[in-house]
Structure 1
């Protein structure tokens, strides 16, 4: 049987603990829920998250499984900075509508930052429902944008933001006479993957 060792707060223990805490916060689950999913006690998990407990390999893998990710997702040291220079973002242009989408970043599983430019009068494709609990946050930089979620819609102007649940079919359109530019943050729950 593997035992846990009290830690003197090494950098690797602290980094692992912070990664566990960040992932748990992203999933919006409690220590008790993670304890139930992983089989590691909530008290031990609390000490792990604070970098006060070195975990065995078996328990580290159980914690990762409980968080719905790979162990490598929790132990890889993130780069001090991840920079994508102008012109290097993956760019997609819809052939029929001219809608431009830039993939700006995927900082965490289930989290994606996008930038869109929608020509006047153009309507996006209809997007399939996301998994339950997925939210999309829109921030309109310029122009006018209408966003439909099922049969409901909201009209957004430059400077407006909206947080919408996207577990129904959805799409957006530029109802104005100038290009609409907006930033979109997609936040999908990743537990159960």
Structure 2
């Protein structure tokens, strides 16, 4: 991922310092990310993607898209949130018009500090536990096996107010995190 960020930054004519300043992070962090010496948080990746004017998960796209792609569980891309206690692994291969993510939200955690939006459609399926999906300020409580579909252009986030972790699956089209 670091090489991809470096390539995108240089294609846009940005210096390392310019990208760092625009993303609100240190130049040292960007340098470490570009050299694959640091794993950036989900929030840092969102900021970098916004500066580069890209959907977040396009930073993870594979350059050579296969017609049939197998994603091995032990080879999935992992993304963590710095504060919310959420982790995502990419189930889909990282190219195409559909993104599939497996998420885990720790007790008391949230997918984002504040609801946010992106130009997609999204569906979440609870695999284990209880999940609250907040869309436009309205909370929708989901139990294991329940799903929720919504327009991701509406401000949204996922919450786990319970005492146990919740596992869920997200599909988004087009990918635009």
Query: Which band: TM-score by shorter chain?
Result: 0.5 to 0.7
Q: Deviations over 1:40-77 (max 9, x none)?
A: xxxxxxxxxxxxxxxxxxxxxxxxxxxxxxxxxxxx99
d(CA) in 1 for partners of 2:175, 2:95: 14
Pairwise mapping of residues 11-50 of structure 1 onto structure 2 (< 5 A)? none
TM-score by length of 1: 0.52
1:148 is the counterpart of 2:130: no
Q: CA deviation at 1:115?
A: 0.7
d(CA) in 1 for partners of 2:152, 2:143: 20
Moved over 2 A (4+): 76-79, 95-98
- Identify the residue that residue 166 of structure 1 maps to in structure 2: 152
Structure 1: gaps (5+ residues): 1-75
Q: Deviations over 1:97-140 (max 9, x none)?
A: 3311111114523x210010001111221353222xx3111110
d(CA) in 2 for partners of 1:77, 1:154: 36
- Identify the residue that residue 26 of structure 1 maps to in structure 2: none
SS in 2 for 1:153: strand
d(CA) in 2 for partners of 1:139, 1:170: 15
1:129 is the counterpart of 2:117: yes
Distance 1:130 1:177, change over 3 A: same
Larger Rg computed on CA atoms: 1
TM-score by length of 2: 0.56
d(CA) in 2 for partners of 1:158, 1:176: 13
Pairwise mapping of residues 1-193 of structure 1 onto structure 2 (< 5 A)? 78-79=66-67, 81-105=68-92, 106=94, 108-109=96-97, 111-125=98-112, 126-131=114-119, 134-188=120-174
